[in-house]
Amino acid sequence: MLYSIAVNVQRAILADLPADVLLCIFALVDVYGIISLGQTCKSLYSLAFSKSVWLNVLADLKRRGFVDEATTPDITALSAEELIDCAKRLAIGPSTWTPAPDGTFVPRVRTQRVVWQQEATGEDFAYWSAARLLPGGRYIMAVLDCRLAAWDIIQDRRVQWNLDFAANTAAVLVWDAKRSGDNEHTFIVAHSTWERSDLCMVHITEVNLSSGAQTKYLSTEFEMDKLSLQSDFCVLTDVRSAIILHWRSHTAVKLQCGARNSLLRLALIPGYAVILLSALDRPDNMFILNEATLREHLAPFTSLLLVECLNVEGLLPSARLMYKFEGVALPPNTNFQYAQTVTLAVCPSPLAPDEYRVWVTIRKRGSFRMSNTTVARMYSLRLRVFRSRKTNENLQLCLRTSTSMPSEGGWKEDDEPTFSGHSSSITRNMGEIQAFVICATYLAVVGGKVLLPKVPGSPPPDIDVSPHAGTWLCRFQKQLVVLYFE
């Protein structure tokens, strides 16, 4: 005998779930998801913009090193409005970055800290360079007298710490540092040193800047100009090649351009490599390559001078062409007697864990019809990785802004721009006035000139844009100054 059972099926509505369940859902989505859920109905709106939701957002941003601990030490004391405002500033920069009709603007400085000042004069400062705020905003690291040094902004003291990497004659050339795990005091530090005649070394060490404890992971010879840390990888680059070093397993692979007059730039994000190939006489292309393809070529090494070398063009069939930079190629009849300068930076975005701001600057110079020709542009692109998708279409790259870079005198072309998840800066000397170019999220700010007062007796500073919205580290001749903008 058959029985028919009537089942009353009701549609489940998200807003009908208990508040504690909804808070768990909000904790699993990024800022985009929170805003989208808050736009569906009044009940979800009031919950989406409550303090508990945004306290969780700021706690995650603090764990990722975006929240400036020097100015926001206790996020639990902030109201819901203050938490939302803090997250907004991290995404778009300070509200006072609004240009005047002539394109210039003077953002209001909320706080200015002179955190490192020396009484020495003259040539002593020729060796003071590469000062940057570390993730979290508590520590500054710089090269001082050819040695790496650190400063604790909150305690206003120099960190008592010495890297045990080589003899006292070693001079630091370049360096990079990333937070190690969730500990606000522990960082992975990679730096290169010039130790004698033509011998250069790269060292990777984990350092606790609170206790001074350190663990060395790697020391080896190398011949590259720059380095950057990305998770368990260290990328060493020069003009036409890059070494991808997995420092935990002591394996590496070297990529180089096979094409003549081409430049290679490479950056890593979790799971992928971003590759930029630039040429004088043709459009520049950006590719995304799966990290698994690179791992197939990683091999143990005794010295980075002996790492296996691959032509990057041979890997491109396995890569995906993400963007073609049109309009930056020189005319076909240009005399290529001048060099090109290309920079690539991929910065995590505060809006979502799998979103990145990609900054590209391209400068090309040559002579054409008895006159010099210069092409210079800065691009800002948004890269999103959808981890839930299992296809090759889980990457999305879109152009946010593009602006020409003026080529008149005053630009310090030997110094590269600095970047963060919301803005970039280029130092420029305008007579007796210091100025900077900002390329931020809003189109109105692209190419704007920020005028700051001149420090007497000091040339224009080098600027480092920190990931903390509205924070710059200025390296003047005799001091380091942190500017916190309104």
pLDDT tens for each residue of the chain, 486 residues long: 455 555 555 565 777 888 888 888 888 888 888 888 888 888 888 898 999 999 999 999 888 888 888 888 788 998 999 898 888 877 776 666 655 666 556 667 778 888 876 654 444 444 457 788 898 889 998 887 778 888 999 888 888 777 665 544 578 888 899 988 778 889 999 888 887 666 788 889 999 998 888 888 888 888 778 888 988 899 998 888 899 999 999 999 999 988 777 889 999 998 899 999 988 767 889 999 999 999 999 999 888 888 888 899 999 999 999 999 887 666 665 555 566 788 888 888 888 888 888 888 888 776 655 566 677 777 888 898 887 655 556 788 887 777 666 554 444 444 566 667 666 665 555 444 444 555 544 434 444 555 555 566 666 667 777 766 668 787 776 778 888 877
Looking at residue 99, its pLDDT comes to 59
What do you get for the CA distance between the two ends of the chain, in Å? 77
CA distance 260 to 262: 5
pLDDT of residue 71: 82
Closest to 33 in 3D by CA, of 12, 14, 17, 20:
14
pLDDT, residue 286, reads 92
Nearest Cα to Cα of residue 351 among 317, 319, 385, 402: 385
Helix axis angle, 51-63 to 80-92, nearest 10°: 40
Buried b (16+ CB within 10 A) or exposed e, 417-452: bbbbbbbbbbbbeeeeebbbbbbbbbeebbbbbbeb
Q: Please give the angle made by the CA atoms of 30, 35 and 38, to the nearest 5 degrees.
A: 125
Cβ atoms 238, 224 nearer than 8 A: yes
Q: Please tell me the distance from the alpha carbon of residue 118 to that of residue 223, in angstroms, as a whole number.
A: 33
pTM listed for this prediction? 0.85
Task: Find the helix or strand (DSSP H, E) in which 295 lies.
Answer: helix 291-295
Please report which residue ranges of 125-245 form alpha helices under DSSP H.
Answer: none
Contact 134, 146 (CB under 8 A): no
Contact between 280 and 330 (Cβ < 8 Å): yes
Query: 452 to each of 455, 470, 473, 482, how far by Cα in Å?
Result: 9, 14, 13, 13
Cβ–Cβ under 8 Å, residues 217 and 204: yes
- Alpha helices in 7-124, H assignment, sequence order: 19-26, 31-38, 42-48, 51-63, 80-92
CA dihedral of residues 80, 86, 87, 90 (deg, nearest 10): 180
Residue 360 three-state SS: strand
The burial of 455, by beta-carbon neighbours within 10 Å (0-12 exposed, 13-18 middle, 19 or more buried), is given as middle
The interaxial angle of helices 51-63 and 31-38, nearest 10 deg, is: 170
Q: Using CA atoms, how far apart are residues 29 and 22, in angstroms rounded to an integer?
A: 11
Collect all residues with Cβ–Cβ distance below 8 Å to 390 and sequence separation of at least 6: none
What CATH number belongs to 14-92?
1.20.1280
Between CA 6 and CA 8 the distance in angstroms is 7
**Cα–Cα dist 257/309, whole Å:** 10
Query: 384 and 300 in contact (C-beta within 8 Å)?
Result: no
d(CA 220, CA 202): 6
Taking residue 351's Cβ as centre, other Cβ atoms within 10 Å add up to 21
Q: What is the pLDDT of residue 450?
A: 57
Closest by CA position to 421, among listed 384, 467, 371: 467
Length of the chain as a residue count = 486
- Supply the pLDDT for residue 278: 86
The CATH 1.20.1280 portion of the chain extends over: 14-92
Residue 235 confidence (pLDDT): 92
Q: How far apart are CA 447 and CA 376, in angstroms?
A: 12
Question: Which residue stretches of 173-222 are H helix?
Answer: none
How confident is the model at residue 274, as a pLDDT? Answer: 94
User: CA–CA separation, 224 vs 231, rounded Å?
Assistant: 20
